[in-house]
Amino acid sequence: MNTIPGSWDAKPPQGADRTSPLVVAIDGPSGVGKSTVAKLIASRLGYTYLDSGALYRAVAWKALATGTDPTEPDAMRRLCRETSLNVSSGAGGGMVVEVDGRGLAAELRTPEVSRVASQVAALPDVRAWLLPVQQSFGRRPGVRGVVAEGRDMGTRVFPEAPVKFFLEAEPQERARRRHEELAAADRAADPAETRREMEARDGRDRTREAAPLTAAPDAVLIDTSRLTVEEVAERMVRAIERTAAGRR
């Protein structure tokens, strides 16, 4: 299993060329179906799946576990320095995250971690610490392609990605999907409260100074409100295959 420890000073990635893995960048707010579709196309194409949100969630989990103020830049910088973060691909194509040797999965999906993740994601030093972790994830031996999902994949982490998508959906539909997702994990909350929480997090993600959520100028915009997962995946796979064919 390949693991990539968190680091402040890993080398930046080399520019994309025909031999480097094809990076597919998928960005958008929560509830647009990014994770579902990213996992689906990664498995269909035999690419590696990078869930960048899980890394911010891992930092948030540690802040909560250690009682560190997630809005305090100095304390969070120290926390990063003292944290060993390992990321690897799991057997089912998912991503495995370990913090200080402890594997985290369901722990990263609680509403509390969601809220704190959007706070730590606003801190430039946390973003800087996670940047090489994400960039090196796709550069492991044998990786043909990476489907990277998050908020700044196409703008900051992989600005040279040859295929970029930005997914959107109507707020009502996003809240409905988020509620269903929580219900499926036995964490259903009041739908109005779920929508309020989601809008507060998205507002923070869009308006923060450090890498705010925004579409890259060369991203293909897809409104998923009235599309099935399969329809979104098909559109994306067609675009990716055209790009992959052009690189051969």
Q: Is 164 among the residues that bind ligand DC (CB under 6 A)?
A: no
Q: Which of 152, 165, 169, 197 binds ligand DC (CB under 6 A)?
A: 152
Q: Which of 89, 118, 135, 155 binds ligand DC (CB under 6 A)?
A: 118
Q: Is 151 among the residues that bind ligand DC (CB under 6 A)?
A: yes
Question: CA angle, 217 as apex, 212 and 222 as ends, to 5°?
Answer: 85
Q: Could you give the 3-state DSSP secondary structure of residue 245?
A: helix
Picking from 15, 35, 17, the residue whose alpha carbon sits closest to that of residue 26 is 35
What tokens appear for 113 in the block?
């971690």
Radius of gyration of the chain (CA): 17
Q: Which of 37, 85, 117, 219 binds ligand DC (CB under 6 A)?
A: 117
Strands laid side by side in the 145-150 sheet: 48-51, 145-150, 22-27, 163-168, 220-223
Q: What are phi and psi of 244, to 5 degrees?
A: -60, -40
How many residues belong to the site for ligand DC (CB under 6 A)?
13
Q: How far is CA 56 from CA 131, 143, 209, in A?
A: 11, 23, 16
User: What would the x/- binding string for ligand DC be over residues 195 to 224, using CB under 6 A?
Assistant: ------x---x-------------------
Residues 6+ away with beta carbon under 8 Å from 171? 195, 199
Letter for the amino acid at 167? L
**Closest distance to ligand DC from the beta carbon of 246 (Å):** 27
Q: Per CB under 6 A, which of residues 49..78 are in contact with ligand DC?
A: 52-53, 56-57
What tokens appear for 100 in the block?
């200080």
**Closest distance to ligand DC from the beta carbon of 100 (Å):** 20
User: What would the x/- binding string for ligand DC be over residues 75 to 114, using CB under 6 A?
Assistant: ----------------------------------------
Q: Is 150 among the residues that bind ligand DC (CB under 6 A)?
A: yes
Q: Is 135 among the residues that bind ligand DC (CB under 6 A)?
A: no
Q: Per CB under 6 A, which of residues 35..54 are in contact with ligand DC?
A: 52-53
Q: What are the residues binding ligand DC (CB under 6 A)?
A: 30, 52-53, 56-57, 117-118, 121, 150-152, 201, 205
